[in-house]
Each structure stands twice: as C-alpha cells, then as structure tokens.
Amino acid sequence: MRVAVFDDHRIGVIVGDGIHDVSALAGQTAECGTCAVGGFIAEFGPRREEIREVLDETPGRPLSEVVLRAPVPRPTHVLAAPLNYPDHQAEMTDELGARRLSAAELGFFLKATGSVSGPSDPIRIPDRPSRRFDHEGEVAVVIGREARAVSRGEALGHVFGYTLALDVTMRRTPEHQEERSMRKSYHTFTPLGPWVVTADEIPDPSVLSLRVWVNGELRQDASLSDLIVDVPDLIAQASSVLRLQPGDVYLTGSPAGVGPIEPGDRVVVEAPEIGRMELDVVERGW
Ligand code: MN
C-alpha cells in the first residue's frame, strides 16, 4: 500500500493514479493536521481491513490534482546513518586525505525534524557562497511500532514502510568544522516522499535500489544490499539507545556519487520499488 500526506495534511492511500482520503480513520482534526500521521501509522496494522473498506467505498481523486506533502511531516526522531556504503566511505576518504569511520563505528546521528520537507517543496540553499552543498540520495525507513531494545531478528517487524529521502549536506572545510547535525539540518534539507510503500510489499529491504540524477546526469546508482550496516541492524542498534516511535524516520545512508547542487538544478531520486521524487533547487529567501 502507498500511504501519502496531501494538501492540508490529509492522509491518503494511493491506488493506481488515484488517492483516497482516509483521514477520518486517523481521527484527524484541523488542529492536529500533522500529528495525526503518527497515530495512523501506529494503528495501521490492526485497522488494515477498515482502510481497505474505505478504499472500496470512497472515490479516489486523481493524484495529479493534489499536492503531496512529506509522508511523515513531523517525525519524533529523524535518525541517519553516516558513511554506510563502502564506495561512499572510499570517496570521502579520498577527499579529506584520511580514512573516515563508517556507520559500523559511528552509529547514527540526528537531523532536526524541522529540516523535513515534502516532494512538492524545493530544496532551499542558504546564501553562503563559500560553502558547498551536496545531495545525498537515500532510502529511508519509517518506523511503525515502538521499538525498544529489539533484536536484529525482530527489527523488520517494527517497520511501517519505506520512502525516498535526500540528506542535503553543507560540507565541512578546513576553516569550517560545524557539527554534522547542524550542517544537515537547514530548512528543507530533508526532503521525504513521494509516499511510504508499506513493508508488506518490501519484506526484504536489501532488494531496494536507488538512483539519483542532477539535471539529467546520473550521479548515484546503488543497491541496499551494499549497506555496511543493514536495515535490521540499524533499527536494533538505535532501539538500544532510545525508544523508536511510530513515524520515526531513519535515513539509511548515501552511496558514492554525492556532488554539489545549486539554485537552478533539478534533482531526481528514484527507487523502482518505491517511486520517484523530482525536486527543484532554489535560493533560500531568508
Ligand atoms: Mn547521509
């Protein structure tokens, strides 16, 4: 099932080229447009049949007529794996002249939840002309059930589904050594979308592949089977630190091929099993 958030933070299920509004099932109110999504995700499993009935009973609207938002607009946590593909670890080593540690040694870092944006929003680059801003295409895991100290074997049972992400990053320079979390938490630096494909359709995330183009040029092309720390271990490890919540997002890491983006560019990220997201890059207006 493809689950999306659209227009004024309505919750929708996509069937073919149509989107069915299932917000009523989430008890969504105008005051709680974004927070209802976590509740919907938490209750998705037990209420699956109810959702199917709504799909049968309500007409879908053409997907082209709605504006898709981030499928989880305000996750409690946005976790991300640093250097989690061998080829990306190698390219970063070359650039900085020293071996960089991978996710196996570093664990996760956090991106500010306020950096999340949607598939219809541009990536907004701040006015810092001396700095380089990179795309990092990634597959993101969306947690479905609270996970606390789960084992590797239990981990995938806590996944709601998978979506696409960019982990936009301001690179360090010899003179500028800001924390990773700050450099990756600028407004709109975590685009998510275009929807979540539920985990029943992707029982093994290692089959996923990922490609990123900038202005039509293929920049990244990878398989999640190459992850240094795979999805079950990412979840197990993070859940030993904190209680992962329904709707939490975990960016699984970026393969080689990260490169600069600037206003005027168009970034496309695609995983055939999930979907495709096309994002314009613009100057931030503040
Ligand atoms: Mn990343």
C-alpha closest to that of 163 among 220, 78, 82 = 78
88 Cα: distance to centroid of ligand 1 (angstroms): 10
133 Cα: distance to centroid of ligand 1 (angstroms): 12
209 Cα: distance to centroid of ligand 1 (angstroms): 16
Average pLDDT rounded to a whole number, residues 246-258 = 96
Instruction: State the DSSP H helix or E strand holding residue 93, giving kind and residue range, or none if neither.
Output: helix 86-96
Within the chain, what is the greatest distance between any pair of CA atoms? Answer: 60
29 Cα: distance to centroid of ligand 1 (angstroms): 34
255 Cα: distance to centroid of ligand 1 (angstroms): 9
Residue-wise pLDDT for 9-47, tens only, equals 999 999 999 999 998 887 655 555 566 788 889 888 888
Mean pLDDT of the chain: 93
146 Cα: distance to centroid of ligand 1 (angstroms): 24
Is the per-residue pLDDT at 215 higher than 90?
yes
What pLDDT is recorded for position 97? 67
What pLDDT is recorded for position 237? 98
253 Cα: distance to centroid of ligand 1 (angstroms): 5
Choose the weakest-confidence range: 97-111, 123-137, 191-205: 97-111
166 Cα: distance to centroid of ligand 1 (angstroms): 8
CA–CA separation, 267 and 9 (whole Å): 24
pLDDT bracket for residue 94 (50, 70, 90): low
42 Cα: distance to centroid of ligand 1 (angstroms): 26
C-alpha closest to that of 272 among 210, 230, 217, 221 = 210
CA–CA separation, 274 and 165 (whole Å): 11
C-alpha closest to that of 28 among 47, 12, 48 = 12
Are the C-beta atoms of 16 and 60 separated by less than 8 Å?
A: yes
% of the chain exceeding 70 in pLDDT: 95
* Cα 123 to chain centroid, rounded: 14
Give, in degrees to the nearest 5, the angle at Cα 139 between 116 and 85. 120
What pLDDT is recorded for position 40? 87
What pLDDT is recorded for position 119? 98
112 Cα: distance to centroid of ligand 1 (angstroms): 13
Is the backbone peptide bond immediately before 194 cis, with ω within 30 degrees of 0? yes
125 Cα: distance to centroid of ligand 1 (angstroms): 17
**Positive or negative: CA dihedral 195, 199, 205, 209:** negative
Phi, psi of 121 (to 5 degrees): -95, 140
113 Cα: distance to centroid of ligand 1 (angstroms): 15
80 Cα: distance to centroid of ligand 1 (angstroms): 6
* Cα 225 to chain centroid, rounded: 18
Say which DSSP state 225 is in. Answer: G
% of the chain exceeding 90 in pLDDT: 83
